[in-house]
Amino acid sequence: MATEKTFYLETFGCQMNAHDSEKVIGTLEQQGHRQVDAEEDASLILYNTCSIRDKAEQKVFHRLNDYKALHKAGKRFGVLGCVAQQEGEKIFERAPYVSLVSGSASYRKLPEMLARLEAGETRITGLDDRQTDETFETEFTARQNPYRGYITIIEGCDKFCAYCVVPYTRGKERSRTSTSVLEEARRIADLGYSEIQLLGQNVNSYRDPEGKRSFAELLAVVAEVPGIRRVRFTTSHPRDFTRDIVEAIDAVPALCDHVHLPVQSGSAKVLKLMAREYTPEWYLERIGWIKAARRPISITTDIIVGFPGETPEDFIQTMDLLAEVQYDGVFGFKYSPRPNTPALVMIDSIPDAEKAQRLQVLLDRQREIQRSNYAKHLGEVMEVMVEGFNPARGQVVSRSSQNKPVNFTSSQPIAPAPGSYCRVKITATHPNSLVGEAI
């Protein structure tokens, strides 16, 4: 009797990686493999990895090390994603029990790589040299999220910010045709999803290879697919953020009231060193467009503190920008030197303790901004989409159009299912969540 082909897959990193894993799982299942929940039960152990910051990368190697004993039990290991692309064949030296190393730009070759693995090959690579124009599209996507359907519309990155690994790990920027995106949106609606999230490292850098639709036009047509009630998109890059995106949100109700627009720094000098290719003024002009919309569009961002050359004065400019924009959410990071990146040759002279302190100051200030932003929702009645139920607290877990977490109680005997919509009155607010009652 042939042994059953089973695999375990663990995913690190961003939403693009999470969605890649849904496509990888579907591809493996199509090839006759079955997903299991524990490493011990799998014949193939896969890690879909992230290398955006040093800590993310270390986590992967620790995990490989923790489970290497399983190799003796006859299990095979594969490393996928950004660490795979970044480290390439060096992974075989560092972890000789690994048989497969593949970056995301090679996943469309997975069936072939799996066949070689089964034939007993031990050093299989799928590595990209920033040449491929192809995207990874499959009809077999094994959607794991119960309430949100992801669609990658653009892969890779051509921006080459000085600190960032993504242009090296994800290949060159390439978009799918808007026809194929729209077909996938219809398939997602047919599956019963009402929320779609369009994904791209810079989602708004989208360029339709067919030349049919701009990014804003694509947003509008996806949001008009019958059955779709919410469309989100992430991450937007300030350089490609055009006014018609705001106009689309104003015009099309199913587009959510939220834009994630990473700024990274409030200092013109630091932005220049980072090669972001915009100034704080340019960025703030776009924020002005978003704030002038008829709908209340929530704005969130990413910030890096302690980039080489960031003086205390530069950091104060970031704090000033925070005060000016009044974000609804900030992902703050300490600068982490990364392999292959141009910033590696800049002198990273800011001690870790100083970076940590700047980050703490930033997050403390942001918490107060959010406390007052979130407090403005007190008494408001809003539509939320249910994501789950927290039995310990007896609360339904949900999200507003603005992407704010809303935890609410309901007088119904059974909690509403993930993906359903409720009207909720907000009765209390916190800096990171709203509390309410179903009405």
Residue closer to ligand SAH (CB basis): 52 or 369: 52
| C-alpha closest to that of 17 among 50, 53, 54 | 50
C-alpha 353/C-alpha 344 separation (Å) is 20
- Please select the residue that binds ligand F3S; options are 46, 50, 98, 246, rule is CB under 6 A: 50
C-alpha 26/C-alpha 143 separation (Å) is 8
Q: State yes or no: residue 170 binds ligand F3S (CB under 6 A).
A: yes
Which of ligand SAH, ligand SF4, ligand F3S, none lies near 167, with the C-beta cut-off 5 to 8 A by kind? ligand SF4
Site string for ligand F3S, 17-46 (x = CB under 6 A): x-----------------------------
Site string for ligand SF4, 135-164 (x = CB under 6 A): ----------------------x-xxx--x
- Please select the residue that binds ligand SF4; options are 21, 48, 99, 202, rule is CB under 6 A: 202
The C-alpha R_g of the chain, in whole angstroms, comes to 22
| C-alpha closest to that of 424 among 390, 378, 388, 389 | 378
Which of ligand SF4, ligand SAH, ligand F3S, none lies near 304, with the C-beta cut-off 5 to 8 A by kind? ligand SAH
Identity at 196, one-letter amino acid code: I
Encoded tokens for 234? 């992430």
Contact between 404 and 298 (Cβ < 8 Å):
yes
C-alpha 197/C-alpha 148 separation (Å) is 7
Residues of span 70-99 touching ligand F3S by CB under 6 A: 81-82
Site string for ligand SF4, 218-237 (x = CB under 6 A): -------------------x
Which of ligand SF4, ligand F3S, ligand SAH, none lies near 13, with the C-beta cut-off 5 to 8 A by kind? ligand F3S
Identity at 244, one-letter amino acid code: D
- Please select the residue that binds ligand SF4; options are 21, 106, 201, 317, rule is CB under 6 A: 201
Residue indicated by tokens 């000098």: 269
Which of ligand SF4, ligand F3S, ligand SAH, none lies near 338, with the C-beta cut-off 5 to 8 A by kind? ligand SAH
Q: Which residues contact 12 (CB under 8 A, 6 or more apart)?
A: 47, 48, 49, 50, 56, 59, 60, 81
Q: Which residues bind ligand SF4 (CB under 6 A)?
A: 157, 159-161, 164, 166-167, 201-202, 237
